[in-house]
Amino acid sequence: KAGVTQTPRYLIKTRGQQVTLSCSPISGHRSVSWYQQTPGQGLQFLFEYFSETQRNKGNFPGRFSGRQFSNSRSEMNVSTLELGDSALYLCASSLDQGETQYFGPGTRLLVL
Amino acid sequence: GEDVEQSLFLSVREGDSSVINCTYTDSSSTYLYWYKQEPGAGLQLLTYIFSNMDMKQDQRLTVLLNKKDKHLSLRIADTQTGDSAIYFCAEEDNQGGKLIFGQGTELSVKP
């Protein structure tokens, strides 16, 4: 079974721009969670989607948003990028809440 | 709120055992997890333990759980240079879908 895939793997943007990251879960997994990883803050939860509905949200500003499609693929969007948004963005999929989460390779975003 | 704490660094010799420790705060967590992250990579699930278990063994990996003290440990037997990585313990938030991670322990294995 293919693992979690994320595109693109690397991205360079400038302040003020917006960015969209994509995540394709493991086949059959309906829950997708997103995390931000930075050296200073570590791994922080952004949000979780199941059946196209956001069920849980972390403590991030409204510039961070996401959505999930009917095939369980998910996207996250960051608008009005700031330097501090530079991070590794990780997506994880699971069958449902409470089930083991499997992570993708991440998208490394650099904001200049 | 929930919090997960780990020591930041551990250095061992090849062939020795490594023990990585973690403390957590949410006693309602059903599962506790160990993930491994190599440079430039995502998180690889190593193992997990159900909260009503005390111990789980999986090849070279042994997980010990002390629920009373909210202490979790990961023992790697016969540590190899390929085990050098950052190891994260995580608990699941009681709302579900959200993992709370420790800061990660950087394991350095010297030949």
Residue contacts between A and B (CB atoms, under 8 Å) = 61
Which residues from B are below 8 Å from A94, CB to CB? 97
Q: Are the C-beta atoms of B82 and B111 separated by less than 8 Å?
A: no
Separation of alpha carbons A2 and A97, rounded Å: 21
Is residue A5 pLDDT above 70, yes or no?
Answer: yes
Whole-number average pLDDT of chain A: 96
User: Which 3 state secondary structure label does DSSP give A84?
Assistant: helix
Q: What is the pLDDT of residues A68-92, one digit of tens each?
A: 999 999 999 999 999 999 999 999 9
Q: Is the Cβ pair B100, A45 closer than 8 Å?
A: yes
- pLDDT value, residue B95: 72
Torsion angle of the four alpha carbons B5, A94, A66, B34, in this order, in degrees rounded to the nearest 10: 20
Q: If you average pLDDT over residues A33-38, what whole number do you get?
A: 97
Is residue A62 pLDDT above 80, yes or no?
Answer: yes
B42 → closest Cβ in A56, A58, A106: A106
- pLDDT value, residue A77: 98
Is residue B1 pLDDT above 70, yes or no?
Answer: no
Q: Is A87 at the interface with chain B, CB within 8 A?
A: no
Q: Are the C-beta atoms of B84 and B107 separated by less than 8 Å?
A: yes
Q: What is the pLDDT of residues A38-49, one digit of tens each?
A: 999 999 999 999
Q: Is the Cβ pair B93, A45 closer than 8 Å?
A: yes
- pLDDT value, residue B30: 81
- Which amino acid is located at B26 in the chain? D
Is residue A102 pLDDT above 90, yes or no?
Answer: yes
Separation of alpha carbons B25 and A59, rounded Å: 19
Q: What is the pLDDT of residues B21-79, one digit of tens each?
A: 999 987 777 889 999 999 989 999 999 999 888 999 999 999 999 999 999 999 999 99
- Six-digit token pair at A30? 């309906």
